Amino acid sequence: MNQSQLCPRFEKAMDILSKRWTALIIYSLLPGPQRFNAIESFLPNLSGKVLSERLRELEAEGLIRRDVYPEVPVRIEYSLTEKGNALSPLLEGIGTWAKQWINPES
Amino acid sequence: MNQSQLCPRFEKAMDILSKRWTALIIYSLLPGPQRFNAIESFLPNLSGKVLSERLRELEAEGLIRRDVYPEVPVRIEYSLTEKGNALSPLLEGIGTWAKQWINPES
């Protein structure tokens, strides 16, 4: 086993995904577009400040899209891009693994 | 969408997997049992101190096993348990996603 076997893309992907809250924010968008408040109420331990920050980072990484609808009041929705959506089988896989192997009490 | 939809097991699984280096250490054990030095050389940016710490944590979580062979000199090997091995499709999925979507230069 040598260093060249470690794909730098894998390391970068893990850097993105392993950032605290990132996977859970993507997970919360799997059912479809959501408004800020809906994501916030889905993740009650996450502060609004950190959520804004993560949403901006995920938008910059091309994982989510921010759509502004010029209604009164203005409506802003976040949704997964194709790149973000491509993570859905992985996140579901983590869910399945967790269900089988993780005891939430321990 | 409400709070009860967020599975606490998923959150705990993400807590384990999102810890820096954890996924890469598991990834390095996918081909089979490895000695400490082999894992260390596979992850050149990871210090030996942090690697020892992570290996202990992963052993405590039941993801890896530490086998001591009473040879001279003593041989110690780390390998994935069934629980750890069950992550292999996920890690491979992350690899596939990364290959398709991540530009390591950016």
Chain A nearest CA to B71, separation (Å): 23
Does B37 reside within a domain? yes
Query: Residue range B2-20: average pLDDT?
Result: 71
Does A6 reside within a domain? no
From the first residue on, what is the mean pLDDT of each consecutive set of 10 residues in chain A (106 residues)?
58 81 90 95 91 96 96 95 93 88 76
Q: Is B60 helix (H, G, I), strand (E, B) or coil?
A: helix
pLDDT at B1: 44
Does B106 reside within a domain? no
Does A32 reside within a domain? yes
pLDDT at B6: 55
Q: Chain B residues with CB inside 8 Å of A3's CB?
A: 41-42, 44
Does A7 reside within a domain? no
CB neighbours of residue B49 within 10 Å: 8
From CA A23, how far away is CA A31, in angstroms rounded?
14
Q: What is the pLDDT of residues B25-78, one digit of tens each?
A: 998 999 999 999 999 998 888 999 999 999 999 999 999 999 999 999 999 999
Burial class (CB in 10 A: 0-12, 13-18, 19+), B25: buried
Does A1 reside within a domain? no
Q: Phi then psi for A6, rounded to 5 degrees?
A: -85, 110
Chain B nearest CA to A67, separation (Å): 19
Q: What pairing do the DSSP bridges indicate for beta strands A75-80 and B64-69?
A: unpaired
Domain of B60? 8-101
Q: Chain A residues with CB inside 8 Å of B41's CB?
A: 1-3
Q: How many domains does chain B have?
A: 1
CA max distance for chain A: 59
From CA B23, how far away is CA B4, in angstroms rounded?
27
Residue A101's beta-bridge partner residues?
Answer: none
Query: Residue range B4-9: average pLDDT?
Result: 62
Does B72 reside within a domain? yes
8 Å CB contact of A93 and B90: yes
User: Which CATH number is A64's domain given?
Assistant: 1.10.10.10
Does A4 reside within a domain? no
Chain B nearest CA to A45, separation (Å): 10
Q: Chain B residues with CB inside 8 Å of A18's CB?
A: 17-20, 22-23
